Amino acid sequence: MYMLGNTKMGSASSFSKFCLTLLLLVVVLGSTNAQLSTNFYSKSCPNLLSTVRSTVSSAINKEARMGASLLRLFFHDCFVNGCDGSVLLDDTSSFTGEKNAVPNRNSARGFDVVDNIKSAVENVCPGVVSCADILAITARDSVEILGGPKWAVKLGRRDARSASQSAANNGIPPPTSNLNQLTSRFNALGLSTRDLVALSGAHTIGQARCTSFRARIYNESNIDASFAQTRQRNCPRTTGSGDNNLAPLDIQTPTSFDNNYFKNLISQRGLLHSDQQLFNGGSTDSIVRGYGNSPSSFNSDFVSAMIKMGDISPLTGSRGEIRKNCRRVN
């Protein structure tokens, strides 16, 4: 009887262990393959969206250009190892971050605004919301505040524990890119050619430094002559002279999110070489024309492309962390 009873107990014990193992497996798999959702923080941080919005509004009211800068941070984050907040990390003894990579050095800005947003969010729900998600919400708010479309942001990303300067140098397309280079880089991240053109429409706001467009305004022929002359006044031909002087990416409405960027391309007034490549006798001309004629078409495609971009390789579940300070790992 004793042996029989022991066997039954052993079977029960084995079965319990099996169930526990199965449960743990489900939990682990669930946590590593967790999906982003628009209501991720609805219970854990119900005031998140209003908290972020008020801080973004305040920053843009102080400086309209900041909206473009905050939107650009999200692009530059997602294009380097996915949307994981890595662009926000300062250099440490163990890694060289992305802030001083060529695409970001002397041009990426708004980090102090992100710090302010993070502090405000930590005040209402400490240790809950990732810096990666704050970038995603901030990008949406910036677009909407400047007159662009609104959308529900998918959330649930976690923050990377390291950053890579080399990945930033290689991953973010430079303003010298041609259409093939742009298309292949976007395609490698799961973004279509239409997504490329729609996302490039973010250049309807913001400014660029003389170093980014000097070669275009002095050397290229597919540029409106009067536009080139206007830009040359503030960007001398000589390297090192006026390198950081700024010009609006959209000469018509530089602080309004609209479709004038595409109208500019059609009239050969794209500021960057990479901008004008989208309308230069190639495969994307028809998309540019479509967006130039229809603001609603541009807006809807821009929203779709932003959501797709926000889905690039997020850290979810148990991967990464929720940083207390966006500039450094916990």
Considering 141, 171, 201, which residue would you say is the last residue of a domain? 171
Domain co-membership, 159 together with 195: no
What pLDDT, on a 0 to 100 scale, did the predictor assign at position 1?
A: 33
- 144 labeled part of a ligand binding site: no
The 10s digit of each residue's pLDDT in 166-213 is: 999 999 999 999 999 999 999 999 999 999 999 999 999 999 999 999
Residue 32 belongs to some domain of the structure: no
- 133 labeled part of a ligand binding site: no
Domain co-membership, 139 together with 196: no
Instruction: Specify the higher pLDDT residue, 122 or 32.
Output: 122
The 10s digit of each residue's pLDDT in 302-328 is: 999 999 999 999 999 999 999 999 999
318: Cβ contacts below 8 Å, ≥ 6 apart: 28, 31, 32
Residue 12 belongs to some domain of the structure: no
Residue 77 belongs to some domain of the structure: yes
Q: Which residues pair with 325 in a beta bridge?
A: 328
Considering 143, 171, 199, which residue would you say is the last residue of a domain? 171
Q: Is the pLDDT of residue 13 over 80?
A: no
Residue 23 belongs to some domain of the structure: no
Domain co-membership, 165 together with 183: no
Domain co-membership, 148 together with 198: no
Q: What are 244's two structure tokens?
A: 């950081």
Domain co-membership, 53 together with 104: yes
The domain of 91 spans 47-171
- 86 labeled part of a ligand binding site: yes
What pLDDT, on a 0 to 100 scale, did the predictor assign at position 281?
A: 97
What pLDDT, on a 0 to 100 scale, did the predictor assign at position 22?
A: 52
What pLDDT, on a 0 to 100 scale, did the predictor assign at position 50?
A: 98
Set 65, 76, 99, 214: catalytic member: 76
pTM to 2 decimal places: 0.89
Domain co-membership, 246 together with 289: yes
Burial of 231 (0-12, 13-18, 19+ CB in 10 A): buried
| Largest pairwise CA distance in the chain | 101
The 10s digit of each residue's pLDDT in 223-268 is: 999 999 999 999 999 999 999 999 999 999 999 999 999 999 999 9
CATH of the domain at 105: 1.10.520.10
Residue 288 belongs to some domain of the structure: yes
Residue 253 belongs to some domain of the structure: yes
Q: How many domains does the chain have?
A: 2
What pLDDT, on a 0 to 100 scale, did the predictor assign at position 31?
A: 40
Q: Is the pLDDT of residue 19 over 60?
A: no
* Residue 288 CA: distances (Å) to CA of 190, 226, 266, 281: 20, 22, 8, 11
- 250 labeled part of a ligand binding site: yes
Considering 119, 144, 171, which residue would you say is the last residue of a domain? 171
Q: SS3 breakdown of the chain: % helix, strand, coil, rounded to 5?
A: 55, 5, 45
The 10s digit of each residue's pLDDT in 74-132 is: 999 999 999 999 999 999 998 899 999 999 998 899 999 999 999 999 999 999 999 99
Residue 85 belongs to some domain of the structure: yes
What pLDDT, on a 0 to 100 scale, did the predictor assign at position 23?
A: 53
Residue 210 belongs to some domain of the structure: yes
CATH of the domain at 201: 1.10.420.10
- 84 labeled part of a ligand binding site: yes
**Per-chain mean pLDDT for the chain:** 92
Contact 322, 129 (CB under 8 A): yes
- 193 labeled part of a ligand binding site: no
Question: Is 273 noted as a catalytic residue in this protein?
Answer: no
